[in-house]
Structure formats: C-alpha cells, structure tokens
C-alpha cells in the first residue's frame, strides 16, 4: 500500500487535492425563543389551532471560502384569535466552500446548507413546543431547492443577477 493512513485518515493525493470542497464545520443554535403569552388561560380554550410558519435564511461570509448560514424558523399558533405560542429558532452552521464557481457556491449555500440545518431546527422547535405544554408539533419537510429557485428568479427579475454569497446576503 503506497498511501499511509495517519490518525485514521488517508493522506491527500494529487487527484483529491484539487477537488471542490463543501464541508460542514459546525452546527449551532444562534438564537431560540419560546413565548406563551396567554398561558395558562390558553390551555382552557376550545378550538382549532391555526399555525403560521415563516422561514428565513441569511448567508454571511466569515473568511475566504467560509460562510455562516442561518436558517430562521418561526412558528406562531393561535386559538380563537389568541396567541397560544410563538417558537423561533435561528439554526446556524459554518460551511467551507472551495473550488466552486460563484453560481455553484450560491446554489450550495441556498439549498444544501438549509437542507442540512433544517432537521436541527425542526427538532428544536418541536422540543420547545412540547416543553411549553402544548401537543408535539413536527414540521413537515421543506423543499429548499424550490425556495432557492424562486428566490433566484426574483433576483433576476429585479436585475440582481449577482450570487447571494456576499456578506449578509439573504435567501428566501
């Protein structure tokens, strides 16, 4: 065997040294909040809960080829026009992106990154809702490819054909 393995990892070969890299460095909750403004009276309310889900995404450049992606998930529940709860999570990740052109980098940060972060945000929201005394809530899967395609179409219509990987650029 010509390649030696050090600490359980194979050394970089000339063929892999120039390969594009898209790697997750860290996942963390940047901010989280839960409010039940009408508790405990809201637990006595009879009626069908109405849920409103809002998603947001922000991409910030930390250094050359290193980006922070923050996926914001806000869930508001009302019963009989009274706020039962508001759960919001800003799930973040640090991603390394190298060897891709600007368009592909933008696509990876706009689709793959939120797909990676979503399960963490989903669990955090579900835990907060249940810990708040409400029935468990499981967010349904989100098609971030479709959301990104729509955001890209809107940017092109507005003449902003630039990739959104500049500091503090937002994605839908």
> How much is the pLDDT for 110?
95
Burial of 23 from C-beta contacts in 10 A (0-12 / 13-18 / 19+): exposed
In degrees, rounded to 5, the angle at the alpha carbon of residue 20 between the alpha carbons of residues 16 and 26 is 105
pLDDT over 70, % of the chain: 83
Looking at the predicted structure, is the pLDDT value of residue 35 above 80? yes
- pTM score, two decimals? 0.80
Looking at the predicted structure, is the pLDDT value of residue 115 above 70? yes
Taking each helix axis as running N to C, give the angle between helix 113-131 and helix 144-157, from 0 to 180 degrees, rounded to the nearest 10. Answer: 120
Token pair belonging to 166: 């500049």
CB burial readout 101-124, b (16+ within 10 A) else e:
eeeebbbbbbbbbbebbbebbbeb
Looking at the predicted structure, is the pLDDT value of residue 171 above 80? no
- The full set of domains in the chain, from first to last, is 20-143 (3.10.420.10)
* Residue labelled with tokens 């039940």: 36
Closest CA to 165 of 116, 107, 114, 112: 107
């Amino acid at each position: 065997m010509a390649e030696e393995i050090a600490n359980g990892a194979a050394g970089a070969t000339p063929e892999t040294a120039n390969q594009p890299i898209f790697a997750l460095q860290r996942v963390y909750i940047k901010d989280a909040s839960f409010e039940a403004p009408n508790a405990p009276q809201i637990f006595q309310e009879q009626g069908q809960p109405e849920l409103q889900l809002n998603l947001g995404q922000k991409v910030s450049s930390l250094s050359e080829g290193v980006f922070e992606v923050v996926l914001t998930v806000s869930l508001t529940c009302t019963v009989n026009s009274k706020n039962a709860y508001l759960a919001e999570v800003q799930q973040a990740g640090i991603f390394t992106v190298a060897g891709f052109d600007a368009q592909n980098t933008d696509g990876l940060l706009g689709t793959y990154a939120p797909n990676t972060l979503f399960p963490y945000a989903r669990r955090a929201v579900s835990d907060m809702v249940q810990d708040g005394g409400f029935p468990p809530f499981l967010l349904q899967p989100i098609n971030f490819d479709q959301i990104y395609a729509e955001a890209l179409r809107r940017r092109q219509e507005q003449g902003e054909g630039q990739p959104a990987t500049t500091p503090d650029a937002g994605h839908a």
